[in-house]
Amino acid sequence: MKKYRLILAAAVLAAGILPLHAQSGGGPGAPQFDSGMDKLFGDNQTFSAMLEVRMNNGVNPTTMSGKMSFDKGNSRFEMNMADMKGGNITPDTVAQMKSMGMDRMISISQKDKKAVYVIYPNAQAYVEVASADSDSGATNSAAKMETTELGKETVDGHPCVKNKDVITDQQGTKHEFTVWNATDLKNFPIKIEINEQGSDITQSFRNVNFSKPDASLFNPPAGCTKYDSMQEMMQAVVMKHMGGMGAPPAGQ
């Protein structure tokens, strides 16, 4: 029964990890670029890069890293729980998630559909959820950005212009970012800092490649089962795992 409880706790933790990036302008699981945030990338609307995200809410600082692919508003982020640091993530938790096939996660945001797909490829399961902008009807093209230069700095070996970018979305809400644009990488924003809703979020990009990502990257993989909700998917994955290891004794 102890192992059964650990598995359920791990599943709950996975569900809790998913919304971590909602404050950075996107849906669950990854830093999608809704609410006009794609304007921070200027003319660099197709790229892939390694992305590290550091989040600090004053309680449980968390760092996660993975591969980011972006194509004119569509985004994909791939991560592995083993690469997470902080946030009360323990080796036992990672092991439990891996045993259920939930250690690797992919989050895909499709701009035109205003949908986010949260996928666990090793568990062959995914769920579709509405993006942050779907309820408001906001469009990134309607957003406006004002830029103020703050100075010049070197970040990770790249000469950068440090800017304050203020994006005003269709509803008139302002979002403020501190951005380091690398002058040797077509002014790509290799570092972005956000402070909203009591959390500090830093996104750092490395190994930037401006080649257009393959279109197939922005669709759920074939062979995965689609579930109607996160709860339904988590329950199915846990029950499948329990079936493989034997159900708990009756009454426990």
pLDDT (average), residues 104-108: 89
The pLDDT tens digits for 34-62 are 557 888 999 999 999 999 988 887 777 88
- Could you tell me how many residues make up the chain? 252
pLDDT (average), residues 134-155: 78
pLDDT exceeds cutoff 50 at 246: no
How many CB atoms sit inside 10 A of residue 51's CB?
23
Is 237 in a helix, a strand, or coil? Answer: helix
In whole angstroms, what separates CA 229 from the centre of its chain? Answer: 18
pLDDT exceeds cutoff 50 at 125: yes
Stronger pLDDT, 241 or 71, i.e. the higher one = 71
Q: Concatenated DSSP letters for 7-41?
A: HHHHHHHHHHHGGGGGGGTS-TTS---TTTGGGGG
Stronger pLDDT, 201 or 20, i.e. the higher one = 201
Amino acid at site 206: R
Question: Within 13 Å, how many C-alpha atoms sit on residue 30's CB side?
Answer: 31
Give the global pTM.
0.79
CA–CA gap between residue 167 and residue 68 (Å, rounded): 22
What pLDDT is recorded for position 28? Answer: 38
Per-residue pLDDT band at 244 (split at 50, 70, 90) = low
CA–CA gap between residue 56 and residue 59 (Å, rounded): 7
Amino acid at site 100: M
What pLDDT is recorded for position 62? Answer: 83
Stronger pLDDT, 92 or 248, i.e. the higher one = 92
Among candidate residues 69, 137, 117, the one with its CA nearest the CA of residue 221: 117
8 Å CB contact between 33 and 25: yes
pLDDT exceeds cutoff 80 at 18: no
Question: Within 13 Å, how many C-alpha atoms sit on residue 74's CB side?
Answer: 16
**Which residues lie closer than 8 Å to 228 by C-beta, 6 or more apart?**
127
pLDDT (average), residues 164-168: 94
CA–CA gap between residue 42 and residue 112 (Å, rounded): 19
pLDDT (average), residues 172-182: 93
What pLDDT is recorded for position 245? Answer: 53
pLDDT exceeds cutoff 80 at 150: yes
What are the residue boundaries of the structural domains of the chain, listed by start? 2-141+205-243
Among candidate residues 20, 43, 34, the one with its CA nearest the CA of residue 74: 34
Is 75 in a helix, a strand, or coil? Answer: strand
The pLDDT tens digits for 197-228 are 777 889 999 999 999 999 999 998 888 999 98
How many CB atoms sit inside 10 A of residue 141's CB?
10
What pLDDT is recorded for position 31? Answer: 57
